[in-house]
Amino acid sequence: MIFEISQNIARKVFEKALTDIDNYLRIKRERGKLNNTGKREKYFLTRFGDILYSRTRYKDRKTGKSCYLLDEALSVVKNQRLSLSRARIESFLSSLSSYREVVTQARLLLGNFRSHEAIRQSVIKEGKLIIENQEKKLRQIENLNYPDKEAPATAYLEADATYISLQNRGKKEKEKLEVKVGVGYTGKEARYKTGESKRLKEKFTFIGTGKDFMEKLSLLAEERLSLSKVKKVIFGGDGDSWITSGIKDYFSSATYILDLYHLYKKFKEFLGRRKEEQKVIKDLLLSNQIDKGLLKIDQLIRNSYDLKEKDNLVKLYTYISRNRLGISNQFTLKDKEIERAGAIESNVNKAIA
């Protein structure tokens, strides 16, 4: 009851405030330029519900085009019926649940709701605007249209990917989409004055899909970190071919390191039942004896009569062989530099959301 009363008060106050601002803009407008053509009502959905307000419509004497000074002052675009904060809430909830579930969540969180189809269309619209702005920014960077900045001594980059389910209307089977995430930063610093909690310095995040992801990440890294001027670049990844090949093509000066989290994950996936062999091979790899580690796996392949186990061992051998440089580079870098990598692991789904 108190929450509903508070929302009702907020709506009334907001409507009154908008009316006052509109009157102020009408009085202070430049004379002789705009003709007052009367009031127009508009419904606007906010986090505290629907509001209805009137704003003055003007017509430019020279061009004949109509405009609303109040909308311009509020940065409300044409045909916008949803506040930015409300759109953010619905978009965030939609990244975690189905559109139908968001209806219930919005009702509980905000006290009011829209249909799942209205939410879906709103999220699609917001997504298209984000993509358009991102592409525009990348084109500006490609044309060297960005301010020059001092390069850090060391830059850290990481990339990873995950699959999300697409909520396609009319399709019973959900389609999967691979979404890639890249993060760049210059190191870590204390989050608080006391304690061991750290945060990334000069962090930026890039999210995308498709084969040109690494190219676009390199453009953004150049704009944010002046990457071409950085003396030492460290790039961490999970060993997927799109990452390793992308580093060669677009981050040629970077030192690639394989994230040990993924290496251990592969051991559990492909060598889960052989605990002793796991430890032996791990110790060999972590002491930079990669050839001996591969030889041990090769012996296991030759001695195995289980076709599934043999197939898993071949996959593990291929994975380690393909990423041997990323493993050996762990030993050419100082411990502190290695510790700074791996920041993306617990944040992939959060970043996409």
Please tell me whether residue 256 adopts helix, strand or coil conformation: strand
Strands, sheet with 254-258, edge to edge from the N-terminal-most edge strand: 204-208, 175-185, 154-166, 232-237, 254-258
User: What pLDDT shows up at residue 193?
Assistant: 83
Q: H-helix or E-strand containing 60?
A: strand 49-60
User: What pLDDT shows up at residue 172?
Assistant: 60
Tokens coding 38 = 């009367």
Which of 113-117, 187-191, 238-242, 247-251 is least confident? 187-191
Ramachandran area for residue 226 (φ above 0: left; ψ -120 to 50: alpha; else beta)? left
Instruction: Tell me the whole-structure pTM to 2 decimals.
Output: 0.73
Q: Is the pLDDT of residue 228 over 70?
A: yes
CB count, 10 Å around CB of 84? 14
Question: Cα separation of 311 and 313, whole Å?
Answer: 5
Question: Cα separation of 42 and 279, whole Å?
Answer: 68
User: What pLDDT shows up at residue 109?
Assistant: 87
What are the distances in angstroms from CA 286 to CA 59, 291, 330?
73, 12, 9
Ramachandran area for residue 210 (φ above 0: left; ψ -120 to 50: alpha; else beta)? left
User: What pLDDT shows up at residue 339?
Assistant: 54
Residues 25-66: pLDDT tens digits? 999 998 889 999 999 999 999 988 999 999 999 999 999 999
Q: Is the pLDDT of residue 79 over 70?
A: yes
Average pLDDT, the chain: 87
Tokens coding 113 = 């709701």
Confidence grade of residue 183 (pLDDT, cut at 50, 70, 90): very high
Mean pLDDT for 270-293 is: 89
Spatial contact of 319 and 281, defined as CB atoms under 8 Å apart? no
> What are the residue boundaries of the structural domains of the chain, listed by start?
2-81, 86-142, 154-352
Spatial contact of 183 and 203, defined as CB atoms under 8 Å apart? yes
What are the distances in angstroms from CA 178 to CA 34, 156, 166, 349?
51, 23, 10, 12
224 DSSP 8-state letter: H
